A = this chain, B = another copy of it.
Amino acid sequence: MKNILVTLDSNYLKPLKVMLKSLFINNQNEKFEIYLMHSSIREEELEDLNRFVESEGSKLKIVYVDDSYFEDAPTLLHYTKAMYYRLLAFKFLPQELDRILYLDPDILVINPIDNLYNINIDSYLYAAAYHNIISIKRINRIRLNAYDIKEYYNSGVLLMNLKLQRETIDEKEIFDFVKNNRTKLIMPDQDIINSLYSKKIKSLDEKLYNYDARYYNYYRITSNGRCDMDYIINNTVLIHFCGKRKPWKKSYSGKFHSLYKHYEKLALNVKY
């Protein structure tokens, strides 16, 4: 049994189904407990999602977050309190869980996740990948004024050591950081993880566990041709559709467009 964490609102339920369907198809001998942290999804939508997950032999666990919990937490323009969910998930998840894999809904799982899920993170809070593309790295490090940050990790895939997080992470530290850095924070949860916990993150190979779908040619060229389509389809576990252009939108175009739509068809044609 493997634990998956997602945090989202109603707008992302369709992509979530696509992500989950791709997870189930490519991990057929595995059962999952899908923890959904939310504060605003309607009962009918939750029931529909529950039927979808159960029809695949897995379980949906609803973690309802009462917004009053974050009453005194600082806010940022354009962001709801949901920006804290993945950072403080350890407070809301069952105490007996030691480990969970957080996944953004704009991800396709195209190979088995065992090797990722079972990585040794005993002395780390997270395992995550950074996108080693010069422009992304420089912009974010300059923005955060973070001279001691070596890499800027992407928070769309986070393998979490919940046990160590309960012992180590102080929510007050997070709230104080937000108060003191309001103007700098653009992707708040990702910025917070990088600013506060960078040294406690185990690095993952982005080509396997957080492949940025926008940069096919970049990966291919910088790997001397090794990371081509053949390699990706047979080895990459998580393809992440980062950025504003999303594969479920009409105007999308990209190397993994046809593959995304293929999984979308499978997800939305499930009878349950």
Q: Which residues of A contact B (CB under 8 A)?
A: 110, 228-230, 232-234, 250, 252, 255-259, 261-262, 264-265
CA distance A264 to B258 in the complex (A): 14
Q: Which of A233, A257, A258, A262 has the most CB of B within 10 A?
A: A258
4 tightest Cβ-Cβ pairs between the two chains A and B: A258-B259, A233-B261, A256-B258, A229-B261
The 8 Å CB contact of A264, one of B233, B259, B262, B264, is B233
> Which of chain B's residues have a CB closer than 8 A to the CB of A229?
252, 257-258, 261
CA distance A265 to B250 in the complex (A): 28
Extra inter-chain contacts (8) besides given A230-B250, A258-B258, A262-B262, CB under 8 Å: A110-B262, A228-B250, A229-B252, A229-B258, A233-B265, A234-B265, A259-B259, A259-B262
- Chain B nearest CB: distance from A217 CB in Å? 9
> Which of chain B's residues have a CB closer than 8 A to the CB of A258?
229, 232-233, 255-259
> Which of chain B's residues have a CB closer than 8 A to the CB of A110?
262
> Which of chain B's residues have a CB closer than 8 A to the CB of A230?
250, 261
CA distance A102 to B195 in the complex (A): 61
CA distance A252 to B229 in the complex (A): 9
Q: Is the CB of A257 within 8 A of B255?
A: yes
Shortest Cβ distance from A247 into B: residue: B229
- Chain B nearest CB: distance from A78 CB in Å? 29
